Amino acid sequence: MESKMISRECIKPSSPTPAHLRTYKVSMLDQTSMAGHIPLVFFFPPRPDNNVDDRHRTTEQLKHSLSIILTRFYPFAGRFNGDNHSIDCSDAGVDFTVFEFPGHSLLDLLRDKDSTKDLPAQLLPIKFAWVNEKDPESRVVFVQVNYFECGAVAIATLISHWVADLTTMVNFLKAWAGTNRGSNQEVCPNYISQILFPHKTELLGQQVTYSGFAQTGKWAMRRYVFDSIAISSLKAKTGLENPTRVEAVSAFLWNCFMAASLKNGKSASAMAIAMNLRGRAKPPFGTDFFGNCGVTTTASSQNCMQEDVYKDLARKLRDAVARIDGEFVARMQGDRGLLGYHANRQSLVADFSGGADRLVSSSWCGFGVYDVDFGWGKPVWVTTAVDSSSSTYANSIILMDTSVGNGVEALIRLGEKYMAVFDAIEELLDLACIDPSPLGIGSSLN
Enzyme catalytic residues:
161, 373
CA distances to 9, 225, 226, 357, 430 from 229, in Å: 47, 11, 8, 31, 12
Q: Which of 299, 415, 294 is nearest to 352 (CA)?
A: 299
Contacting residues for 26 by C-beta, under 8 A, at least 6 apart:
85, 86, 87, 162, 163, 199, 291
Q: How far apart are CA 190 and CA 188, in angstroms?
A: 7
The b/e string for 131-147 (b: 16+ C-beta within 10 A; e otherwise) is: beebbeebbbbbbbbbb
- Please confirm whether the linkage preceding 283 is cis (ω < 30° from 0): yes
Q: How far apart are CA 346 and CA 349, in angstroms?
A: 6
Q: How far apart are CA 168 and CA 344, in angstroms?
A: 24
Radius of gyration of the chain (CA): 22
Q: How far apart are CA 22 and CA 350, in angstroms?
A: 41
- φ/ψ (deg, to 5) at 109: -65, -40
Q: Are 298 and 351 in contact (CB under 8 A)?
A: yes
